[in-house]
Chain A
Amino acid sequence: MLRYWSLLKKLTSREIKARYKQSFLGFFWVLLNPLFQMIIMSFVFSKIMKMTGIGVPYPIYLYAGLLPWLFFANSIASAMGALTNNSSLIKKIYFPREILILSTLLAKVFDFSLAIIIFIILMIFFKVPFTVYMLLFFPIFLLQFIFTYGLSLLLSALNLFYRDIQYLFDLVMTLWFYVTPVIYATEFFPMEYRYIFKINPMSVFINAYRQVLFNGAYPNWESLTIGLVISVGLYLIAHSIFKKLEGMFADVV
C-alpha cells in the first residue's frame, strides 16, 4: 500500500481540484450547501414544528447531525460512480482498485473539514462551552469513516455489474435519512421503535457526536461498541468481496 501512497495523494487532489475548478463559487459551495440546508431545516423544525428540550439551540443541534450525514450520503454517492467513471484506467493499468474509492472518500473528508469551520463559528455564536470530551469526535469520526468506506467498497463493486444499483440505493438513502436522528432527537421516537437506532450505525455515530459535543460527557459505550462491530465487520466482508471481484473489473467495466 505504501507504494501507492503518491497515487492516492494525486487521485485525491485530482478529485478536490477538479471539483473546485468546475464551479464558479469554488470552495464556498461546500460551506454554503450544508449551511443553506441547515437554515431551511432550522426554520421549518424550530419555528413551525417547534422542536424543544434538546439542550442546545436547534440550528447547532441539527448541524451536528446534518454534517456527518451529508458526509456519509455524498461519499456513498460519489463512490458508486468511482469505478465506472474511471473505466479507461481500470482497463489499462493495474493498481489496487480500492485506491479509487479511498481517494473519493478522502476528497469528501476534505469537504467535511471545511464545513466544520462554520460549525465551530456557530458553536462560538451560540456560546456552547468547549470541553475536552470534544476530542472524542476524532475516534468517532474514524469509526464513521470505516463504516462509510466498507459500504462504498461493496456498492461500487456491485454497481459495476448492475448500473442501476446507484438509483436503487438513492431510495434506500432517503429512507435511511428518516430513521437516523438528523432532524430530530432519539427521544422524540416512540420507545418500542428505538431499537432501530441501536442497529443503525449512522444513528449511533450522530448520537455520540452530540453527546461529546454538547453534553460534555462520554458517549454511550454500549451503542458505540455495536457501531464498532458493525463497521469493522462490514469493512472486512466488503473488502474481501471487492478483492474477489477485482480481477473481473476490467472485463465488465
Chain B
Amino acid sequence: MGEIEFANVDKYFYLQHQKTIKELVAAIFNQKKTLERVHALKNVSFKIKKGESVGIIGKNGAGKSTLLKLMAGVSSPTSGSAKISGRISPLIELGAGFHPELNGKENIFLNGVILGMEEKFLIDKFQEIVDFSEIDMKFIYTPVKYYSSGMYMRLAFAVAIFTQPDILLVDEILAVGDTAFQAKCIAKMEEFKKEGVTTLFVSHSMDAVKKFCQRVIYLKEGKVIFDGDVNEGVNKYLKG
C-alpha cells in the first residue's frame, strides 16, 4: 500500500484545435490543423516507496499535471505501466465537487463521498471536519456560494484531509489561504508523513519543496531530467 511504480510510461494526447463541429468543418475546408498529437510524457520510469515525500518540479508545460493525472487514475498511459497501490487523496483543485447552492454540511457529505469516504464515517467525523476548517457553526447551514474564498478553501481542505489516504497528491494548494491556516495544513501533512503516507508534492516554491521533501523528480519537456536528492535537484532546476 502506498507505492507508486511507473515503468517506461509514455503519454500522448490529442490537442483538439476545434471545440465545435462548426469550427471543425471550417478547418477541414481551409485545410488547417485539426488534431495535434502532443507527447506529454516521454519514457518516464521511477519507483516511490511507501512513506516517501517526493517533490515534482519543472516549468509550466513540463508534464507535471499530466503525471498527477496518471497517478490519480483519471487518465491512462499511452504505453508503459503505471502501478499505484492504495487509496489516493488528491488535494488538487480543492472543492471540485462543491456545489455553490448547497450548504456547508451538504457539501462536506457530497465531497466526502466523492473522495471515497463512507457516509457513516462522515457522520462520525462531521464535527471534527467542521472544527478543522475553523468555520463558524452558524455558517455551516449557509450555501457555500456566500462563503469567502478562504472559507471555501478551508472547508475543502478539511474534507480532503479526513480521507485517510495512502497516497497524498498535493498540487500548489499551499499558495492559497492565510498564513495561520497554511501552517496548520503543513502540520497536518507532516503528521501524515509520520504515519507513513506517501506524498507527492507539486510546487513552484523551491523553499516549500526543500522543507517538505527529501527527494525530487525534475521534469523537463516530458522527460525525467533528475531524480534524487532534493538540494541537488533544486539547484539543477534553478540553473535551468
Residues of chain A touching chain B, judged by Cβ–Cβ distance below 8 Å, are 6-7, 9-11, 14, 17-18, 21-22, 88-95, 161-165, 168, 247-252
Pick the contact of B76: A14, A89, A92, A247 (CB < 8 A): A247
> Do A92 and B74 touch across chains, with their CB atoms under 8 A apart?
yes
A-B contact count (CB 8 A): 83
A97 nearest CB across to chain B (Å): 10
Alpha-carbon separation in the docked complex, A7 to B73 (Å): 17
Is B193 at the interface (CB under 8 A from chain A)?
A: no
- Given A92-B74, A250-B74, A251-B13: A163 touches B20 (CB 8 Å cut-off): yes
B171 nearest CB across to chain A (Å): 10
Is B28 at the interface (CB under 8 A from chain A)?
A: no
Is B21 at the interface (CB under 8 A from chain A)?
A: yes
Alpha-carbon separation in the docked complex, A251 to B99 (Å): 23
Pick the contact of A164: B21, B99, B102 (CB < 8 A): B21
- Given A10-B110, A247-B75: A164 touches B16 (CB 8 Å cut-off): no
Residues of chain B touching chain A, judged by Cβ–Cβ distance below 8 Å, are 13-14, 16, 18-22, 24, 69, 72-76, 90, 92-93, 96-97, 99, 101-102, 106, 109-110, 113-116, 118-119, 143
Q: Which residues does chain B contribute within 8 Å of A162, judged by CB atoms?
A: 18-21, 24
Q: Which residues does chain A contribute within 8 Å of B92, judged by CB atoms?
A: 92
Closest to B70 in A: A250
> Do B96 and A92 touch across chains, with their CB atoms under 8 A apart?
yes
Q: Which residues does chain A contribute within 8 Å of B102, judged by CB atoms?
A: 14, 17-18, 21
- Mind listing 7 A-B residue pairs with CB under 8 Å? A10-B110, A88-B96, A91-B69, A162-B20, A248-B75, A250-B74, A251-B75
Q: Which residues does chain B contribute within 8 Å of A163, judged by CB atoms?
A: 19-20
B78 nearest CB across to chain A (Å): 10
A87 nearest CB across to chain B (Å): 9
B32 nearest CB across to chain A (Å): 16
B162 nearest CB across to chain A (Å): 15
Pick the contact of B13: A89, A161, A248 (CB < 8 A): A248
Pick the contact of B101: A18, A92, A93 (CB < 8 A): A18
Alpha-carbon separation in the docked complex, A88 to B97 (Å): 8
Q: Which residues does chain A contribute within 8 Å of B13, judged by CB atoms?
A: 248, 251-252
Q: Which residues does chain B contribute within 8 Å of A11, judged by CB atoms?
A: 110, 114
Q: Which residues does chain B contribute within 8 Å of A89, judged by CB atoms?
A: 96-97, 114
> Do A6 and B113 touch across chains, with their CB atoms under 8 A apart?
yes
Q: Which residues does chain B contribute within 8 Å of A165, judged by CB atoms?
A: 21
